[in-house]
Amino acid sequence: MSRLAAIAFWLSAALLTWAQALYGPFLALLRRLRGATDPPPSVGADRRPLVSLVVAAHREEAVIADKVADALALDWPRDRLELIVAVDGGAEPGADATAERARAAGADQVLELPRGGKVRAQDAAVRAASGELLAFSDANASWAPDALERLAARFADPHVGYACGRVRFVSDGGTNQEGAYWRYELWLRAQESALASVTAGNGAIYAVRPQAYVEVDPVMGHDLSFPSLMVKRGWRAVYAADAVATEKMVPTIEGEWRRKRRMMSHAWPIVLRGGLLSPRGYDPLYALMIASHRLLRYAAPALHFAIVLSALAGRRRPVQRAALAAHAALLAAALAGGANRARPLLLARYYVLTTASLAAGLYDHLRHGTPAGWDAPEGTR
């Protein structure tokens, strides 16, 4: 085995192990050593700001009335809530009844827009908003009655520019194992928030100060771009675990693969040219978080490939043989998970396909570009 192959093997294995297994315990230990806490604040009824709640929707006629009703049922004074439904493609010929049903359900503003993608629909809504706080949700997300109160309370801290809530995925069965991954992801998010700022959010429930809002490239979603941009501009981006939203999970692992592949085609532009990769504006701890939780995770396909390739070069050595055997067993289990619904096999299939989706999303972006428009993932409405 050549020296170069040995370096590639051990470096790739170390980076993958750090990102997938050691980063979380490191954060938990650091949080304990620092005594970092993230106590849930409260917001008094006399201090509730006017909130503009934005719902960007494209062909959501089946769920938009329920979403409007859900928003209007929040424990928040009606005269302090401005509900804006921004209908992406609502101005196009052949548009569905999303705009009509949103108006009938009681939305304060319904914007019928040309097809420009979710981000441009959100930008248009923000320009039309009059709120002291901007909140955002998906058309298929249901918020707990106190979710807006819990989310808004984070902005009592003048350093907070962005806050995301906790999404709870519900499933009627199926094979998708996203729930197991998501619980770990949210645990990591809680550690990051207590120590510094989160490295990513979610589209189902989050809020931003109007003065912190940034109009980004329409192919770059807010979920990944906003937290790091906030940090670069001197704000904190925090996680409000007690602000809960519920969404329906994609039913199958194969559907999750397609969803994550599409998501990553939007994430890679943020990494490559949206500023995420540049450490400028990060303090050392947050730079480590971005490198560990985002960059190394997105590099997982390349790290696996480097381990296998370098292990083949040194396959006579026990450690390299063990690495090859482990990868072969993982692939075999993933293949078996296509026919057998045993939980360990499904978890292996989920890991292999979602890791592959990182590379597939990069391929899609580099080969075809990333469209700004989006459609709802299958089975989530």
What pLDDT, on the 0 to 100 scale, is given for residue 253? 94
DSSP state at residue 219? T
Q: Are strands 133-137 and 51-57 parallel, antiparallel or unpaired?
A: parallel
What pLDDT, on the 0 to 100 scale, is given for residue 165? 97
Nearest Cα neighbor of 289 from 275, 279, 299 is 279
Euclidean distance between CA atoms 239 and 197, whole angstroms: 8
Task: Provide the whole-model pTM.
Answer: 0.93
List, in sequence order, every beta strand (DSSP E) within the chain. Answer: 51-57, 81-88, 109-113, 133-137, 142-143, 160-170, 205-208, 236-248
- CB-CB contact of 136 with 221 (8 Å): no
Q: What is the spatial order of strands in the sheet that 236-248 belongs to?
A: 109-113, 81-88, 51-57, 133-137, 205-208, 160-170, 236-248, 142-143
- Residue 239 burial by CB count (10 A; 0-12/13-18/19+): exposed, middle or buried? buried
| Cβ neighbours for 198, distance < 8 A, ≥ 6 positions apart | 164, 189, 192, 227, 237, 238, 239
Interior angle at CA 275, CA 272 and CA 279, nearest 5: 110
Euclidean distance between CA atoms 112 and 151, whole angstroms: 28
What pLDDT, on the 0 to 100 scale, is given for residue 43? 59
pLDDT along the chain (381 residues), means of 10: 89 98 98 84 72 97 97 96 97 94 98 96 98 97 96 95 95 83 96 97 97 96 96 97 94 94 96 94 97 98 97 88 97 95 95 97 94 76 71
Q: Which domains does the chain have, with CATH numbers?
A: 45-252 (3.90.550.10)
